[in-house]
Structure 1
Amino acid sequence: MSLFWRIYLLNAVVLVAATISLVFGPASVSAQPVFAEIVVVVLGLAALLALDGVLFRIGLAPLRRLSRAMTSVDLLRPVPRPVDAGGGDVAEVIRTFNTMIDRLESERGRSAARALSAQEAERRRIAQELHDEVGQTLTAVLLDLKRVADRAPDHVRAELREVQETTRGSLDEIRRIAHRLRPGVLTELGLPSALRVLTGDTAERTGLQIDYTCSPDLPQLGTETELVVYRVAQEALTNITRHARAERVMLSLEHTPTRVELRIRDDGVGMAGAAEGAGLQGMRERALLIGARLTIGTPPTGHGTDIHLEVPVDPQTTGAA
């Protein structure tokens, strides 16, 4: 039924009810209405308006559901689509809206995939340049400093040794940056080992106590999926070290017959109603690329942040990663 006929028939029901009440009801109005007649008319009008409101609320309920769905749409957080039950204009509007959201999510997914692919390529390029250009230059500087220090007077040699240590520290930091930009261990040893190295480096660098656990029987994951899981864990640890003021972090990688679950919990200050920044939004975009579900909440302890990534896997998949 079209929206026009829906509204028309709802009003027709009200008018027919009013007509039947006037024809067959005991109420009547004199040329000079008395108080009792006015009361009857007012009560009748109130009853008709109430009936009209109830019928319209029932008839336009699908539009209200569509309106709530429109206000809650977030392409980074997919929600169930409104049901296009029945037929007519309202159902057609709901189907059109659902189709539009599907298309927007698909287009956003493709554009996010291109952007993240370009980002990973740029990270690899920068990491390569840091390793090949800056790293080799600093290594040459270290060798020159050692050669000069060996021939320098004693009172200058101590200062040159300090410069050597500063340069060596800079070289180590550049290597750590290059490693974070391009985690070679992920390709060489797999996701569990890459996460173990990531947590170890983060704990050593920041002083955080990080407890890492991993199921021994993880199924095989694709290269893109492993990279997404690694980047989500990396971004989560980065946010914790920058903002959470936490002392302890628990990172686990477990698996069930239907999914692989990455969970990161900390005992910091939590989100506290703060808006999500670019880091968390990037995590959501990466999760959507592989059809994963990312939830961010508060642990049962009541403080800190709980990040949970659920990656669906084929139940028939066997073998360890």
Structure 2
Amino acid sequence: MSLFWRIFLTNAAILIAAIVALALGPVTVSTPIARKEAVILGAGLVVMLVVNAVILRLTLRPLQRLARTMTTTDLLKPTQRPTVAGSGEIADLIVAHNSMLDRLEAERAASSGRALSAQEAERQRVAQELHDEVGQSLTAVLLELKRVADIVPEPVRGVVHEVQETTRSTLDEVRRIARRLRPGVLEELGLVSALKALTAEFTTGDLTVDGRFDHQLPSLDRESELVLYRVAQEGLTNIARHARARHATVELYRARSGIDLTVIDDGKGLGRSTEGAGIRGMRERALLVGAHLVLKAGAHGGTELRLRIPAVRRKPSVPRAADHAR
């Protein structure tokens, strides 16, 4: 029965019962109204209002739960769908809301996948240009500086050597940026080797990063491997930039339903800071492969990032260069 007919028929039944009671019962109303008659009419009105309030409360309660769910829904944080309760239009509304969320999440995942694929392609293009154009130009400058250092007088030679060192440092920085943009080691040697290289890259004088990796991992497709690598990379980048940490740990190990990646630091923690573009980007990547990402305060201070990704059978692919080397 629809909501309209439930309310209409309930009020109609109450009014009919009141009219029958007045018509057939001993209760009468005089003019002016007597105190006893006023009490009886007031009691009847109270009963009618209470019955209406209870019925409306029970009927509209699923709508209130749905409204609370709608105000807290975040497409980057999938939650359990509201339970279909009530009947008629209310149940249909909850079903339509759940279907809308499913459709929006699917569309968001598809659009994010296209955007991230375009981003990865652009990263590869920029990394290739840095390596081929800027890297080669700086290498040529280094060779020219070496030739100049061999022929200039001794007082000037020290200045040329300083320029050489500056150019060499710039070349190393360009190569480091290119490696971050395009993790070639991920394609050539696999996920564990890529994460080892990543932890070594972030280990500096102010920050020590330890890696603990399970070598007996379930099969993963290339997209899942890239998500794991990028989430670890973004997590370490946030630690290096914002956490003021001295020590961080990256762990990758087998779980019952797939693979768990954790990035833990001993820094200042999350505090009351809101999620920035980096964290939201990690959530978008997690949605692409059906993974679950949790960011919370660490057990002993700092921050703990955990990504649980389901195991997927690896698709047949071209053998890696390292496989031929073996």
TM-score (norm 1): 0.89
Q: Secondary structure at the match of 1:296?
A: strand
Is 1:227 paired with 2:226?
yes
Change (3 A) 1:273 1:39: farther
Task: Give the Cα–Cα distance (whole angstroms) in 2 for the partners of residues 140 and 316 of structure 1.
Answer: 42
Map Cα deviations across residues 264-293 of structure 1 (whole Å, 9 max, x no partner): 122222222222111111101000000001
Q: Secondary structure at the match of 1:11?
A: helix
Displacement of 1:138 in angstroms is: 0.5
Aligned to 2:207: 208
* Long gaps (5+) in structure 2: 316-326
Is 1:291 paired with 2:290?
yes
Aligned to 1:153: 153
Aligned to 1:198: 198
Change (3 A) 1:11 1:266: farther
Aligned to 1:268: 267
In structure 1, what residue type is equivalent to 2:159? Answer: E
Structure 1 residue ranges (4+ consecutive) displaced by more than 4 angstroms after TM superposition: 16-30, 33-44, 314-317
In structure 2, what residue type is equivalent to 1:264? Answer: V
- Alpha carbons 1:10, 1:56 under 8 Å: kept: no
Displacement of 1:6 in angstroms is: 2.4
Aligned counterpart for 1:310 among listed residues 302, 308, 311: 308
Task: Give the Cα–Cα distance (whole angstroms) in 2 for the partners of residues 26 and 41 of structure 1.
Answer: 13
Change (3 A) 1:28 1:197: farther
Aligned to 1:98: 98
Q: Secondary structure at the match of 1:199?
A: helix
Higher alpha-carbon deviation: 16-25 or 183-192: 16-25
Task: Give the Cα–Cα distance (whole angstroms) in 2 for the partners of residues 248 and 17 of structure 1.
Answer: 77
Aligned to 1:73: 73
Change (3 A) 1:190 1:13: farther
Higher alpha-carbon deviation: 292-301 or 47-56: 47-56
Higher alpha-carbon deviation: 27-36 or 144-153: 27-36
Cα RMSD over matched residues? 2.5
Task: Give the Cα–Cα distance (whole angstroms) in 2 for the partners of residues 157 and 183 of structure 1.
Answer: 38
Higher alpha-carbon deviation: 216-225 or 169-178: 216-225
Displacement of 1:198 in angstroms is: 0.5
In structure 2, what residue type is equivalent to 1:223? Answer: R
- State, as a whole percentage, how many aligned pairs show the same letter: 53
Task: Give the Cα–Cα distance (whole angstroms) in 2 for the partners of residues 210 and 22 of structure 1.
Answer: 85
TM-score (norm 2): 0.88
Displacement of 1:72 in angstroms is: 2.0
Displacement of 1:8 in angstroms is: 1.8
Displacement of 1:263 in angstroms is: 1.0
Task: Give the Cα–Cα distance (whole angstroms) in 2 for the partners of residues 149 and 57 of structure 1.
Answer: 88
In structure 2, what residue type is equivalent to 1:275? Answer: T
Task: Give the Cα–Cα distance (whole angstroms) in 2 for the partners of residues 135 and 230 of structure 1.
Answer: 25
- Alpha carbons 1:109, 1:289 under 8 Å: kept: yes
* Long gaps (5+) in structure 1: none
Task: Give the Cα–Cα distance (whole angstroms) in 1 for the partners of residues 153 and 109 of structure 2.
Answer: 64
Aligned to 2:141: 141
Q: Secondary structure at the match of 2:74?
A: coil
In structure 2, what residue type is equivalent to 1:61? Answer: R
Q: Secondary structure at the match of 2:203?
A: helix
